[in-house]
A and B are shown apart, each in its own frame.
Chain A
């Protein structure tokens, strides 16, 4: 259904509103495609990065609060990591807000820019590799759904805490969408999940809640939603000694480089066409019937 663009009499700084003139008359706000998608601050030598969750969609339709991986988000996360490294942060904490931690690759963006599909996947994998081998302890506070490429990004961190809220799920649905994982993604997932989970996660797209992830050791703890950020902050702070100075950070980077050798060697290299052009997903990433 075509959206007819109308402007409000007053327009907000970041959003303009568009109204669907079909049956629903629902309003969708769209955001400036170049807006800030995250905030960064340094708290007691811990670099704290938060995915922001304003209402609204990018011009290609994706809702911002899903924190999906597109060129904007990837670039901004790199910038945040650059900042953290330059400021000598001793640990990194990444958290989202709202219903989603990260809902995967921005499939609507890729569909609208198919010629860039391989480049975007390569950039996403390189980001995963950077986080995977980052020269400081890394903590991800999984505030909500952690799916597909978002789950892989979460796995790249040293530690994960996930809200005990029962609706939040962790899953990787390539099988349902006709997308086979690249070598790098496969190695990353194998490196960060126990063997007993491999088949269920990769081949069957099984959905997990925090309780089962805790049992498997994929998350460190599952605090109530209200305590998630503070617990994650406490954990990150407790690990600062493992990123305490330049020498330690360099050591950690090299230890991770060896420990995750196979994933590091393949993420972002010789990225195979995952099959976006022939994949069977709808614009919102659900399997097509």
Chain B
């Protein structure tokens, strides 16, 4: 099954194979399925360097949800492995699967009448942006995917309850925008995790909705640096600018975020309050809400100058 999928993709050039698996080998051969597991992963081996790469079922659960003391806790899961299009799951990149599952989690939270939302990830990444490899493989869907991503950002931005993001790792590109949609962010101190939005480096122009969202959630002195210069920030810089609320030690991140979410529960305490919250946010973030997901311009994915892993092409 894997082989036929790869063959069907066509246009399979030498360099693409290298990028897809992240190893330095060129291979004309198509990797063969050496063994398969039940459940989420199957393994493929590069016949150049003999390294194995696991792939996951494309429809697997990407997140877990639980309700703790009236707070909805959503965690991005981080199994080893890649989707069939090559993206590593633990990057928590924004693709149709993740968008769908986050929306479902939000539906659950709203239906259960929770009083606050906490979203976090595990591992090196909070969210590493749009799933560029998926989009490359489905360029005709790129506007639709971007629209869905923007609609998700708008939903979180105006959600009728306090929202907290515990930023466990790198928060980049559209993943940074998603993080900015939350009311509050916590990010560990002294970590290597970075916040940056590199549209300029990869030939992608932000839509009006994305631009308004970024302007609504970062102070003016940051605008040029973030949007035009793709500047990189660590948690301490973000704290100074007021973009993160606190920088707890890494081991305390989740507990600190949970404490914050609980302290805000009164602002989502009942249906009336949650309706009020939606109304207030809808006005406060009026421009972003009006543009996110509407008349999404082609960001230039077809002509973008990025590699499959989102790095600028040399």
Contacts and interface: CB of A to CB of B under 8 A. Distances in A.
Contacts of B273: 175-176, 178
Query: Binding site of B, secondary structure by majority: helix, strand, loop or mixed?
Result: helix
Contact of A203 (B183, B216, B217, B272): B183
Q: How large is the interface on B (under 10, 10 to 19, 20 to 34, 35 or more residues)?
A: 20 to 34
A196 B243 CA distance: 7
A70 interface: no
Given A174-B276, A195-B219, A205 B267 contact: yes
A182 B242 contact: no
Contacts of A278: 272
Interface string A181-196: 1110010001000111
Interface residues of A, number: 23
Contacts of B275: 178
B286 A183 contact: yes
B66 to A, nearest CB: 24
A203 B277 contact: yes
A181 B283 contact: yes
Contact of B277 (A175, A183, A275): A175
Interface in B280-314: 280-281, 283-284, 286
B50 interface: no
B220 interface: yes
Contacts of B264: 204
A181 B284 CA distance: 9
B21 to A, nearest CB: 42
Interface of A: 174-176, 178-183, 186, 190, 194-196, 198-199, 202-205, 275, 278, 280
For the complex of A and B, list the 10 residue pairs with the smallest distance between their C-beta atoms, beginning with the closest: A180-B279, A196-B242, A186-B283, A195-B219, A178-B272, A178-B276, A180-B280, A202-B284, A180-B276, A199-B183
Given A181-B284, A203-B277, A205-B267, 4 more contacts: A180-B276, A195-B217, A196-B219, A202-B280
